[in-house]
Amino acid sequence: MSVKFGVLLPHYGEHCTRSRLIDGSQRLEELGFDSVWVRDHLLWKPHGMEGSDPTFLDGLGTLACIAGATRRIELGTAVVIPIRWPLKVAQDFATLSFLGGRAVHAGFGMGSNSAELGAAGFDVNDREAIFTETVEICKRVWSQDNVTWEGEHFRFANVSLNPKPAQSLDTWYGGTTRASVRRAVAHCDGWLPGRLPLATLDDRLRLLRELAAEAARPTRWGAIPIVFIAEDRKQAFDRVDVPALAGSSEGSARWLKPPSGEFRTPADLEGLLVAGDPGDVVQEIRKFEARGIDQFVFDLRLDFDRYEEKVELIARYVLPSFQ
């Protein structure tokens, strides 16, 4: 199976605009991208590398708007966190699928911000149980009628959700730890980590394959690396802030170190970072392709001020190499 290419949308931060999302997604469809993806937060505080603008549009609402403005491009969440009643999550995704009439990728995660979960009425210490119940409830009501659920946190009886999704929804689990791989295999169809150095990714992929084999079920995987692309490779690398990227993930303490022992150069961030001219970017994506990736999502968040220019460059020079 050939790799599919998606784009993380600029639905947050100082460069978020209506035109950039709606017109931009129409253009992504024209350019041949396979999917668009959104993040999920209730109380969003930008990472230091993301600036300071607190703008953040609801991800599912954004995807619904884009579904009405496009015809075929697939819609994905990377990822929904446990800040909603599970039946509401199930209804939102089913509605998106019904109205969109195309593939929807339901990405789930656990979140980490205690204030965010608390503001939604949940305890951060319960987040794993809430995630587990949420994804299992969703799968049940998406495919069955008269569902009864008696869980640790949620209970309901004789519930039918209509309309059902227009087609089966793929479920993905986000996260970069070995525990996240276990959750992906136990509860979802695929594993979709964010930023991971290549050595750490390989460690997680070995575990993914072992667990998938034990469970006798296929498990897909994707990745969402930070991307800097420019026609001149020096211009691309000039924007790379290695120290900021090396500490940009909550899971960075669990990353395997490069041979030098520290993340000091762009090369040390291989896998987490895809940067350079179009030829460099193709070469880096080939490394993911060789490992059997299913979904490669371009994370251009540090180039959102040049978003249109970057997706045009990717479509013109990178995508054709994989078609």
Q: Where are the domains of the chain?
A: 4-322
Start-to-end Cα distance in the chain: 11
**pLDDT-derived band at 16, boundaries 50, 70, 90:** very high
Using one digit for the tens of pLDDT, what is the confidence trace for 272-298? 999 999 999 999 999 999 999 999 999
Give the model's pLDDT for residue 1. 54
Count of CA atoms in the C-beta half-sphere (13 A) of 161:
25
DSSP state of 3: P
Largest CA distance in the chain: 61
- Whether 237 and 276 have beta carbons less than 8 Å apart is answered as yes
Q: Are 109 and 97 in contact (CB under 8 A)?
A: no
Share of the chain above pLDDT 90, in %: 91
Rounded CA gap, 10 and 24, in Å? 10
Rounded Cα distance between 148 and 152, Å, is 13
Calculate the average pLDDT of the chain.
96
- Core vs surface per residue 276-314: b (16+ CB within 10 A) or e: bbbebbbebbeebeeeebbbbbbbbbbbbebbeebbebb
Question: Looking at the predicted structure, is the pLDDT value of residue 197 above 90?
Answer: yes
Give the whole-angstrom CA distance, residue 303 versus residue 38: 16
238: buried, middle or exposed (CB in 10 Å: 19+, 13-18, 0-12)? exposed
Contact call for residues 51 and 304 (beta carbons, < 8 A): no
Residue 185 has pLDDT above 60, yes or no: yes
- What is the arithmetic mean of pLDDT over 193-213? 96
What's the CATH class of domain 4-322? alpha beta
DSSP E strand boundaries for the chain: 4-8, 35-38, 74-77, 104-108, 147-150, 155-159, 170-173, 190-191, 220-223, 226-229, 273-276, 295-298
- Does residue 253 carry a pLDDT above 90? no
- What pLDDT shows up at residue 250? 78
Q: Quick one: which of 80, 3, 75 has its CA closest to 35? A: 75
Q: Taking Cα atoms as reference points, which of 224, 179, 226, 187 lies closest to residue 204?
A: 179
Q: Name the pTM for this structure.
A: 0.97
Cβ–Cβ under 8 Å, residues 154 and 86: yes
pLDDT tens profile 254-275? 899 988 889 999 999 999 999 9
pLDDT (tens digit per residue) in 23-60: 999 999 999 999 999 999 999 989 778 889 999 999 99
> Per the structure block, which two tokens stand in for 235?
């211009």
Taking residues 222-239, what's their average pLDDT? 97
pLDDT at 127: 95
> Taking 80 as the threshold, does the pLDDT of residue 114 lie above it?
yes
